[in-house]
Amino acid sequence: MALQSSGYISLNDVNVELGNSGTANINMGSADVRDLFDVASGAITMADGYGASSVIPITRGIFAGGGDVIDYITIQTLGNAIDFGNLTIGRGPGAGSDLIRGVFGGGYNGGAKNRIDYITIATPSNATDFGNLVNSRYAVTGTSDVIRGLFAGGINGTNIIEYITIQTLGNTTDFGNLTVGRYGAAGVADATRGVFAGGYNSRATMDYVTIQTTGNAIDFGDLGYPRQYFGACADATRGVFAGGRNSSNVYVNVIDYITIQTTGNSTDFGDLSTTSGSGACSDATRACIAVGTTIDYVTIQTTGNGTNFGNTTVNRTSVGISGQ
């Protein structure tokens, strides 16, 4: 999204581009407006905003969890992952990002089931404490827009959804409930909608929420191949689900996809090159899926099988997030 390149730009247009309500109060001298219009000081005219975009370019993908190791890749550059740092404690969390900061919530490791960590995606280092899940649990699903992170479900089939504001440290707040309690699901999101798919106890179910509201999830459709503990990521319109375990606890190589703003069942995309639990990350065009030590990639707006990208630093089941 970007402001128009000619003609009249309204304050509503500026607010929407910044991710605010169109009718919100706006200060044209504020830092976010100056960054958008690329005017560091002095007067700002609407013409300064022609073609301006608040979209943060996504370059880096992160794989974390299934232990305490965090890896990163440059999504458009084939090669092996590089060590980023470590989680505060090894576990399998749910995850999300606002493209600047990544957050990891819940996960099993003794008393860590309520823990939330964060990282600055552009700066390799160890994770730092963020706050806590109000409802302690593991096998949690995470997703996010560029402001808010959601954590949903978890052992033992709970239907709880909680949220945080990613740039504000603290504990989660109640959001609402999934249509059915489950764990080991996968989550994707576009700029407005989050979709939670699959998971143990209801492996075919997909439901959705509007991220910047609160309330209970609504039925979206069904996965074409029901499963749990699988990877998921999205571009601006399409969500991709890859790998995971079926009802017989057998790992599969299935990839399927949805259009996030169009309810309905998922559609076959292709196959991964191998099978295992997986985590996924993406930029505007490419999805990278970590399966064990193998990383595959696909082009999100096409269909087809995964192609080798490289390898992770260690063998584990991970989650993935994307950012600068």
Using one digit for the tens of pLDDT, what is the confidence trace for 254-279?
999 999 999 999 999 999 998 876 89
> Cα dist. 121→45, 74, 76, 101, 314 in Å?
33, 11, 16, 6, 19
Q: Find residue 90's DSSP bridge partners.
A: none
Please state, in angstroms and rounded to a whole number, the distance separating the CA atoms of residues 166 and 146.
8
Using alpha carbons only, how large is the chain's radius of gyration in Å? 19
Q: Report residue 57's pLDDT band, with 50, 70 and 90 as the boundaries.
A: confident
Q: Is 112 helix (H, G, I), strand (E, B) or coil?
A: helix
CATH number for 60-323 (one of 3.30.1340.10, 3.30.70.920, 2.120.10.80, 1.20.120.420): it is 2.120.10.80
Residue pair 182/156 in contact by the 8 Å Cβ criterion: no
Instruction: Return the sign of the alpha-carbon dihedral for residues 133, 134, 136, 141.
Output: negative
Q: Report residue 317's pLDDT band, with 50, 70 and 90 as the boundaries.
A: confident
Q: Which residue intervals of the chain bear CATH 2.120.10.80?
A: 60-323
Overall pTM > 0.85: yes
User: Smallest Cα–Cα separation from 218: which of 229, 210, 226, 230?
Assistant: 210
Residue pair 273/265 in contact by the 8 Å Cβ criterion: no
Q: What is the maximum alpha-carbon separation in the chain?
A: 65
Q: What is the mean pLDDT of residues 48-60?
A: 84
HEC states along 232-280? EEECCCEEEEECCECCCCCECCEEEEEECCCCCCCEEEEECCCCCCEEE
Residue pair 97/61 in contact by the 8 Å Cβ criterion: no
Please state, in angstroms and rounded to a whole number, the distance separating the CA atoms of residues 46 and 37.
8
State the average pLDDT for the chain: 92
User: Smallest Cα–Cα separation from 230: which of 254, 247, 248?
Assistant: 254
- pLDDT of res. 110: 62
Q: Report residue 51's pLDDT band, with 50, 70 and 90 as the boundaries.
A: confident
Q: Which amino acid is at 270?
A: G
